[in-house]
Amino acid sequence: MMSDLPFTFELDAPGFRPSHYDNHIRRTLSAMRGQYLDQAAYEALLAEGDAPLYEVYELNRPHVAGELLHGISIVHPGKVGEEYYMTKGHFHTVLETAEIYYCLHGQGAMVMETPEGEWAVETLVPGRVLYVPPRWAHRSVNTGDEDLITFFAYPGHAGHDYGTIEQQGFRKLLVERAGSPAIIDNPRWAR
């Protein structure tokens, strides 16, 4: 329940789900159609069942400047072919807004890029804070064998633009090669 008073919530290990939340988003494999490089592996995995890939627990705040939207993101372990489970990824609708992530559990990476073509991949491990600057699309990727759990916060008026990423994905992909994460060019990305 939203309040104009200060509030607290607990993030107890090992699950780090907030002690209270207003919205729970559960994205499954079917919600990521077209986002994985190996479509044959995707279809084969989907035929086995619509596995949960990630969850988001949000605390309700007004979607206006001056507020901070925040919550917990949990990306489950797994792969589609060689590509690790990941979030959809997004730009902010208000492109000139940033986001902060604090890794609580697991291991992974944040894949990021700008509309102009700059890109970066930063490792996420417990205790690491990641600042995603304005203009950078971002996607969490779980490269480990446990849940990747992060706390996030961003401006209330930022919004989410998933459509741009859905069209052709990110310029770079994170895949497993020889038992370790490797960054490769996305061959579907139009140059």
pLDDT tens digit string along 116-153? 999 999 999 999 999 999 999 999 999 999 999 999 99
CB contact burial 28-47 (16+ within 10 A = b; e otherwise): ebeebeebbbeeeebeebbe
CB 101 within 8 A of CB 187: no
What pLDDT does residue 14 have?
Answer: 84
What pLDDT does residue 152 have?
Answer: 98
Distance of CA 25 to the CA centre of its chain: 12
Is the model's pLDDT at 2 over the cut of 70? no
Is the model's pLDDT at 184 over the cut of 60? yes
Is the model's pLDDT at 27 over the cut of 80? yes
Query: What CA–CA distance (Å, rounded) separates 141 from 121?
Result: 10
Pairing of strands 148-155, 99-105: antiparallel
* Element housing 108 (H / E): strand 108-113
Superfamily in which the 23-185 domain is placed by CATH:
Jelly Rolls (2.60.120.10)
**pLDDT above 70 coverage of the chain, percent:** 98
Give residue 191's pLDDT band: very low, low, confident or very high (50, 70, 90): low
The tokens 């401006």 sit on which residue?
155
Is the model's pLDDT at 1 over the cut of 60? no
Is the model's pLDDT at 188 over the cut of 90? no
Average pLDDT over residues 77-86: 98
Is the model's pLDDT at 114 over the cut of 70? yes
Query: What CA–CA distance (Å, rounded) separates 27 from 17?
Result: 16
pTM of the model: 0.95
Mean pLDDT of the chain: 95
Average pLDDT over residues 57-70: 94
**Segments making up each domain of the chain, as ranges:** 23-185
What pLDDT does residue 5 have?
Answer: 81
